Amino acid sequence: MSIPVVWKTPGEVRAWVRALQRRGQTLALVPTMGFLHEGHLSLMREGGRRADVVAASIFVNPTQFGPKEDLSTYPRDLEGDLQRCGSAGVAGVYLPEPSTVYPPGYQTYVNVEEVSQGLDGDKRPGHFRGVATVVAKLLALFRPEVALFGEKDFQQLQVITRLAADLELGVEIVGMPTIREPDGLAMSSRNSYLSAEERQRALGLSRGLFSAQRLAAGGEADVAKLLAAIRQELVKVQAREDYVEIVDSSRLASLSRLESGAPARALIAAFIGKTRLIDNVALPLGAQALS
Ligand code: AMP
């Protein structure tokens, strides 16, 4: 395992990318906010299967945080992260300062319209504008063949897929399954905010989602019943619901019934104490095998 090279400026990245292109090597990019866990590493390893070289970015992007959100307290572990990137085969990591990404006078933002609305788009105004802007900048800088994102942030994945297609960036956006702790909790850098007691209560999210998934697999198509099953688990752990919705998987429009052959998704955002967690699962109707 080798520690990846670190770039602090776009100029350094561009020089490295040009050399890579001269050698005819393909590139996979994995953008992150750091405090890396197995979920992030699964994206990096898959990048290594899909391209010759993998690069990552670690940037806690201020424009995707609301004024009352956790920008200043977001967990960081740079040294550990570089080790983890190295162990996942990452060749280089871009670690820009906020003032490098958004220098004085900065005024260009990317707005992906419909899929940025509803769900986190409504609950976190401006969030997806910040996400789309930083991801567009990273894709324009690295010009990767492939970029990998997690289904854990399902709406974000749809926003980025749309953005890459609409701006004709010529990059394949790959969505990767959510990596979970053995007890079902979706891995997240924000899980580090949870006390031991809250960590147990946080299982209400995945339990609710799996319960809806089982009902759908057994043939239950009534969305009201599926939502009730999810909310039952949230109530048990005294989670404060931000939203619970069942939507079609591509447009993210609310559904009242599941239809076979029409991919649907259940999504939750809920507070456990002060920590806001999100999770989601696919809801195949009448499916025999559940993942
Ligand atoms: P973040 O550092 O939270 O911005 O996440 C960086 C990337 O890792 C995003 O594409 C996330 O969707 C993805 N990711 C975060 N958690 C997980 C997880 N548990 N499983 C798979 N991917 C994840």
In this structure, the residue with its CA closest to atom 14 of ligand 1 is: 150
- Residues 50, 170, single domain; the answer is yes
Query: Model pTM?
Result: 0.97
Structurally, the chain folds into a number of domains equal to 2
Catalytic choice (31, 40, 226, 269): 40
- Does some domain include residue 184? no
255 and 125 within one domain:
no
Provide the pLDDT for residue 2. Answer: 87
Per run of 10 residues, the mean pLDDT along the chain (length 291 residues) is: 94 98 98 98 98 98 96 97 98 98 98 97 98 98 98 98 98 98 98 98 98 97 98 98 97 96 97 98 80 48
With respect to residue 181, please indicate whether it lies within any of the assigned structural domains.
Answer: no
Per-residue burial over 39-54, b if 16 or more Cβ lie within 10 Å, else e, is: bbbbbbbbbbebbebb
Residue 127: Cβ-neighbour burial (10 angstroms; 0-12, 13-18, 19+) = buried
pLDDT at res. 289: 47
Which residue has tokens 């670190």?
Answer: 6
The reply to whether 164 and 220 lie within a common domain is no
Ligand 1 lining (C-beta closer than 6 Å): 32-33, 39-40, 42-43, 149-150, 152-153, 176, 178-179, 186-189
- The tens digit of pLDDT for each residue in 20-71 reads 999 999 999 999 999 999 999 999 999 999 999 999 999 999 999 999 999 9
The rounded Å distance from CA 58 to ligand 1 centre is 12
Sign of CA dihedral 76, 81, 82, 83: positive
| Identity of residue 246 | I
For the question of residue 40 being annotated catalytic, the response is: yes
Which residue is it, tokens 């960036």? 169
Domain that holds residue 79: 5-176
Beta bridge partners of 174: 148
Whole-number CA gyration radius for the chain:
19
